[in-house]
Amino acid sequence: LHSEFAQYSALAETATLLKVWLRQRALNTASDSFNGFSISMLLLYLVQKRTISRSMSCYHMLRATYIFLSKKETLEAGLHLAPNAEFFLAAIATPAEALAEFVGGGQAVLLDDSLAVNLLARVSASALSEIQHEARAALLCLEQDANNGFTPLMLQKVSVACKYDELLVIRAAEDPDHAAQRPGGGSWEDSDEILGEAEPGVPQAVVVARRALRVVEEALGERLHFARVLSREAIETPLPTAADAAAAERAKRGASGASASLDSVLAKKAWGPGAEIIIGLLLNSDCAGRKVERGPPAEEADASRRFRKFWGSKSELRRFKDGAIQETLVWSEADTAAGPMAVPAAMSGFALQRHLGSVAGGG
């Protein structure tokens, strides 16, 4: 990596610009997203695969990287750097076999030259969706204004809270009997079957955060671009002024500046009355406010059974004008004063209360 950057200044400049972009778009504030090292190693991969040519200008390298990041399926399918002869000959696995050990669950995979280490192991599925969305927005900026497209990407800092359409605040139940009041009825074992059992040794607050994210993603489906677990500190931190930037620069000279990961922050907090988790939602405006949700058709027995387990008595079988008989959800919140855009919060709140017994509610 150092050798490549030392030989080609445009490559090093592109890496610097990408790091600035990560910081300005608040993409490097979470412990499960890209950082400077991972984005630099991705650049190295693109050079090796000749997606980026050493003869390219910095602008074209940057654009090629955004195009690559806008297609998360490529990273989910698994990639690897050119194998190092010394490591690779000693290994039993072929590149395909090595990738098979890592690929799955929407995880981003980029193996190093030993084929034994995933350089993107820290990047979660939700973070990958966020990066994809931001890369597409970056391409749109560059295509609409080639001269001034860099201004919103590199010079304007975006607040974490402003990136999302909805912020769900999930609080632990104050009433110990609240957990027994399950919306939609049914057994709590249904939730364990859908979400799986908690990982042993993982702090309860971290378990709740991960399960809450899975519940929201399944509840909203295509209504959602992506959802991210956020810290209140990140949301309430104001955009820095020039004086703040100068103070931060002075502080950086005497401190490492490393930030604690969200999981480590959650791990230090006991999950009980007063505890909270915040999830940011970026919604698909084309369908987020839809009043009627059409689920699987009646003839798909397994899918229908899972749908009913997830939604409980909220789901009912209906016949539509086109003759289809499907599991259906109707959200009356679309007819309230808040309008159709109240539906995503209603769906999320219902699903969270149904599947997380310790949740008091959302906001």
Number of neighbours of residue 272 by Cβ within 10 angstroms: 12
3-state secondary structure of 339: coil
What is the pLDDT, as a whole number, of residue 144?
Answer: 81
CA atoms within 13 A on the CB side of 235: 16
User: How many angstroms separate the CA atoms of 60 and 139, rounded?
Assistant: 11
pTM, entire model: 0.78
What is the pLDDT, as a whole number, of residue 305?
Answer: 92
What is the pLDDT, as a whole number, of residue 5?
Answer: 79
3-state secondary structure of 325: strand
pLDDT along the chain (363 residues), means of 10: 80 92 87 89 93 89 94 90 69 76 86 89 90 92 77 84 87 63 73 72 78 92 92 63 47 39 51 78 93 93 92 92 93 90 92 73 45
Q: How many angstroms separate the first and last alpha carbons of the chain?
A: 46
What is the pLDDT, as a whole number, of residue 42?
Answer: 94
What is the pLDDT, as a whole number, of residue 172?
Answer: 77
What is the pLDDT, as a whole number, of residue 181?
Answer: 67
The Cα diameter of the chain in Å comes to: 70
Amino acid at 357: G
